[in-house]
Amino acid sequence: MKTTFGPQRMLFPLPTVLVVTGNMTKANIITIAWITMHTGKSPTLGIAVGTRGYSGEQIRANMNFTVNIATVDIMKEADFCGITSGREVDKFKATGFTKLPSTYIESPIIKECPVNLECRLVESNMVGPTNHFVGEILETHIDTDHLGDQHDPGTLDIRAVNPLIYYSGVREYWSLGEKVGDAYEIGKGLTISGHHSR
């Protein structure tokens, strides 16, 4: 038996990210959980930003932004950046976050976040009452001490990153659980009607 509730925000888990736009002199941070990968090659991602705030205007004006993966260690600062307006507060000063220059765009990355993505705005539109921005990922920065092999981003130790996870249904933050299987591999052992999957 299932219970129905109508349309709900029940997609989970969602990564908590800090989106930065601006430059090394003046930049704003917004906390976002509405984020998803769009394409793999060239890699693009999408973020959803409300229309009432300052950040959507700034992303459109600057045409670029960075996505910085928040960790459990900076949960309070990340939450602060999501409930405070950049029109009134310098969020870098308030949180103590450190700006580092990006390689290809003006918007800085956040030193305290172990994974940072530089994005060039390639598309923007309205979906209902929300700004939807698509960014092409131009560069990826990863803390070297979180890599098993410095030449392979696939060796990122996600447990060391300890990403902050958002559960939108009840507005809660969670930490990551344990690995339970290898994608594209674990399903190969399933037998369907006497035949092995391929």
> Which residue shows structure tokens 């949960």?
75
DSSP for 62-77, written as a single string? HSEEEEEE-BGGGHHH
Which secondary structure element, helix H or strand E, spans residue 167, and what is its range?
strand 165-167
Smallest CA-to-CA distance from 76 within 16, 125, 131 is with 16
**Alpha carbon 78 to its chain's center:** 12
Give the pLDDT confidence of 29-39 residue by residue, as tens digits: 999 999 999 99
Give the pLDDT confidence of 70-90 residue by residue, as tens digits: 999 999 999 999 999 988 899
**Alpha carbon 15 to its chain's center:** 6
> Which residue shows structure tokens 């580092």?
100
Q: Where are the beta strands (DSSP E) in 101-147?
A: 109-110, 115-127, 130-142
CA distance 181 to 158: 14
CA distance 22 to 62: 6
Confidence of residue 151 (pLDDT cuts 50, 70, 90): confident
The yes-or-no verdict on residue 194 having pLDDT over 60 is no
CATH fold of 14-196 reads Pnp Oxidase; Chain A (2.30.110)
Could you give the residue ranges of the DSSP H alpha helices within 26-150?
A: 55-62, 75-83, 91-95
Give the distance between the most distant pair of CA atoms in the chain. 65
> Which residue shows structure tokens 């090659």?
41
* pLDDT at residue 46, rounded to an integer: 97
Please say whether the beta carbons of 28 and 54 come within 8 A. Answer: yes
Q: CB-based burial of residue 8 (10 Å sphere; 0-12 exposed, 13-18 middle, 19+ buried)?
A: exposed
Confidence of residue 196 (pLDDT cuts 50, 70, 90): low
- The encoded tokens of residue 185 equal 């591999």
Average pLDDT over residues 169-178: 89
